[in-house]
């Protein structure tokens, strides 16, 4: 046994030896010996994921359907060179890959871990590197299967050690005209890079950002679902093992290269496209500083987002409304963009949105977040917001969703920004009865206490601490 990212581990051989010892030395029957081994190792804090619970002499790891599929796949995939494979062999490989993927995709099983602990990652990586576009179905299925087992630190480390990033980068580079292969390749990038700073760095060293830009320019935007997910994952600091992530620098690289501009174009071209939400999320991941936020605006990003919001209002599309609001809130962090959003009718757009989605606290919360940012250190925008109807909007939302602590907290933040530099807004909000609702939020939700206290103070109330 030895240390791993998930704690203490045990090999399959050591596990089977312990079960055998229980039977031979302690006289336990097979089922009792297996159960005792499992209980003992669990109490010792051993990670048993990926261990096949077999009984020596009674059953074998080779009886496991997944192991059998792996063994057959190893035999068939490399029994002959690709050029000499007949149709029957190719069809068998496809059938085995489909079976492998099906087994590893079953929820509640440890099949993905079993596969990675028994050579699955190495095998699938080798298949991906050995089969070219002539075997498109085989290649796509291999990458689909590979993405299904890159689920933990151990499997991703094996992928790294076997040159996986280079294999995937080469496939992307050599198949820029094939959307099916591109999509499956990026799904591997997503699986490998999630929660893994080392693999993010490996892909960036292979200049995946340049490949992404080339593909964005060459391929129809609505065929690249996993490309947008790859951008998001590569730019998300989600690896808890590292103290300082490099993703902020990667985002600046993406923007400098022109990926932010390409994503804005994807928004403009895909107003009715199913990839719209993914493109918004990817663009938000790139927008990490004021300079990039301003460049996105200069490329038409704010106009595109407001159009998307209008469209989501017309189509009653909550998902698009939420992601577009989240992106707009991020861009509003730039003082220059705040003014533009208001000048372009953004507040009226948001009020229409609030009416359409008055029954959805998540959308309303996102709208409040934007107005909070727009009003920060901007008495002009705070005045415009109240003129647009924000006072009535916040009153009704707080009344309608008293148990939604996130909405209540965001409402308090927004109220504070609306009134802190605008005494005239205090009068309007207090006359509407907002004090009672803020005090109720403060008492009802511990997470609202500080925000509500600050809102009451900036509303000009002396007893804001009570």
User: Taking a C-beta distance cutoff of 8 angstroms, is the pair 451, 417 a contact?
Assistant: no
Give the residue, 349 or 82, on which the prediction is more confident: 349
CB atoms within 10 A of CB 354: 24
Residue-averaged pLDDT of the chain: 92
**Domain range list for the chain:** 2-59, 299-466
Max CA-CA distance within the chain?
86
- Range from 178-192, 256-270, 280-294, 398-412 carrying the lowest mean pLDDT: 256-270
CA 422 to CA 295: how far, in whole Å?
Answer: 31
Give the residue, 307 or 224, on which the prediction is more confident: 307
Q: Say whether pLDDT at 390 is over 60.
A: yes
Q: What are phi and psi of 47, to 5 degrees?
A: -80, 110
What would the pLDDT profile of 175-230 be if each residue is shown by its tens digit?
Answer: 998 999 999 999 999 999 999 999 999 999 999 999 999 999 998 777 788 999 99
Long-range contacts of 23-30 (CB under 8 A, 24+ apart): 23/56, 23/57, 30/55, 30/57, 30/58
CA 18 to CA 15: how far, in whole Å?
Answer: 5
Res 363: pLDDT:
97
What does DSSP assign to residue 334?
Answer: S
* pLDDT-based confidence at residue 1 (cuts at 50, 70, 90): very low
Average of per-residue pLDDT across 427-440: 97
CA distances from 210 to 186, 200, 213, 254, 404 (A): 14, 14, 5, 8, 43
CA 10 to CA 272: how far, in whole Å?
Answer: 52
Considering Cα of 177, then 181, then 185, then 190, what sign does the dihedral take? positive
Q: Which residues contact 202 (CB under 8 A, 6 or more apart)?
A: 160, 165
Res 297: pLDDT:
97
Helices (H), 219-258: 225-234, 247-257
Considering Cα of 455, then 459, then 465, then 466, what sign does the dihedral take? negative
Stated as kind and residue range, the H or E segment containing 4 is strand 2-4
CA 194 to CA 233: how far, in whole Å?
Answer: 6
Average of per-residue pLDDT across 5-16: 78
* pLDDT-based confidence at residue 272 (cuts at 50, 70, 90): low
Give the residue, 165 or 217, on which the prediction is more confident: 165
Burial tier of 200 (Cβ tally within 10 Å: 0-12, 13-18, 19+): buried
Helices 259-269 and 276-286, axial angle in degrees (round to 10) = 160
Domain 299-466 has CATH 1.25.10.10: yes
What does DSSP assign to residue 284?
Answer: H
CA distances from 442 to 213, 376, 393, 426, 456 (A): 48, 22, 19, 18, 10
Long-range contacts of 459-463 (CB under 8 A, 24+ apart): 459/415, 459/419, 459/426, 459/429, 459/430, 459/434, 459/435, 460/419, 460/423, 460/426, 460/430, 461/435
Cα 185 to the center of its chain, rounded Å:
17
Q: Say whether pLDDT at 5 is over 70.
A: no
Closest by CA position to 41, among listed 58, 13, 19: 19
User: Taking a C-beta distance cutoff of 8 angstroms, is the pair 407, 364 a contact?
Assistant: yes
CA 299 to CA 366: how far, in whole Å?
Answer: 24
Res 4: pLDDT:
42
User: Taking a C-beta distance cutoff of 8 angstroms, is the pair 171, 133 a contact?
Assistant: no
User: Taking a C-beta distance cutoff of 8 angstroms, is the pair 415, 434 a contact?
Assistant: yes
* pLDDT-based confidence at residue 3 (cuts at 50, 70, 90): very low
Res 271: pLDDT:
61
């Amino acid at each position: 046994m030895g240390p791993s990212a998930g704690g203490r581990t045990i090999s399959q051989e050591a596990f089977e030896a312990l079960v055998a010892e229980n039977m031979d030395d302690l006289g336990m029957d097979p089922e009792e010996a297996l159960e005792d081994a499992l209980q003992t190792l669990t109490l010792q804090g051993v990670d048993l994921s990926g261990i096949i619970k077999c009984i020596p002499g009674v059953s074998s790891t080779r009886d496991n359907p997944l192991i059998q599929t792996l063994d057959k796949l190893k035999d068939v995939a490399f029994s002959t060179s690709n050029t000499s494979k007949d149709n029957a062999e190719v069809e068998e490989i496809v059938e085995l890959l489909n079976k492998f993927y099906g087994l590893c995709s079953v929820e509640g099983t440890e099949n993905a871990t079993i596969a990675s602990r028994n050579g699955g990652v190495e095998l699938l990586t080798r298949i991906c590197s050995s089969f070219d576009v002539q075997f498109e179905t085989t290649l796509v299925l291999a990458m689909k299967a590979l993405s299904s087992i890159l689920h933990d630190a151990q499997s991703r480390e094996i992928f790294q050690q076997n040159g996986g990033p280079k294999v995937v980068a080469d496939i992307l580079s050599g198949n820029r005209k094939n959307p099916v292969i591109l999509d499956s390749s990026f799904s591997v990038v997503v699986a490998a890079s999630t929660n893994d700073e080392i693999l993010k760095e490996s892909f960036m060293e292979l200049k995946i950002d340049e490949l992404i830009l080339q593909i964005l320019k060459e391929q129809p935007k609505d065929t690249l679902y996993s490309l947008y997910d790859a951008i998001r994952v590569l730019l998300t600091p989600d690896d808890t093992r590292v103290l300082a992530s490099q993703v902020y620098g990667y985002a600046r690289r993406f923007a400098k290269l022109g990926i932010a501009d390409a994503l804005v174009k994807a928004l403009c071209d895909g107003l009715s496209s199913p990839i719209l939400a993914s493109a918004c999320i990817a663009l938000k991941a790139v927008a990490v500083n004021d300079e990039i936020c301003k460049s996105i605006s200069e490329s038409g990003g704010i106009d595109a987002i407001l159009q998307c919001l209008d469209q989501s209002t017309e189509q009653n599309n909550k998902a698009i409304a939420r992601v577009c609001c989240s992106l707009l809130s991020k861009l509003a962090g730039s003082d220059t963009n705040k003014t533009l959003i208001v000048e372009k009718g953004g507040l009226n757009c948001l009020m229409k949105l609030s009416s359409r989605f008055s029954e959805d606290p998540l959308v309303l919360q996102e709208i409040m977040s934007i107005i909070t940012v727009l009003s920060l250190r901007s008495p002009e925008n705070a005045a415009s917001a109240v003129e647009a109807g924000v006072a009535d909007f916040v009153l009704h939302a707080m009344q309608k969703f008293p148990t939604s602590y996130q909405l209540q907290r965001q409402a308090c933040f927004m109220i504070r920004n609306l009134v802190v530099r605008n005494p005239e807004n205090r009068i309007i909000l207090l006359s509407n009865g907002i004090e009672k609702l803020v005090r109720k939020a403060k008492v009802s939700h511990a997470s609202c206490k500080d925000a509500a206290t600050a809102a009451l103070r900036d509303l000009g109330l002396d007893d804001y601490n009570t």
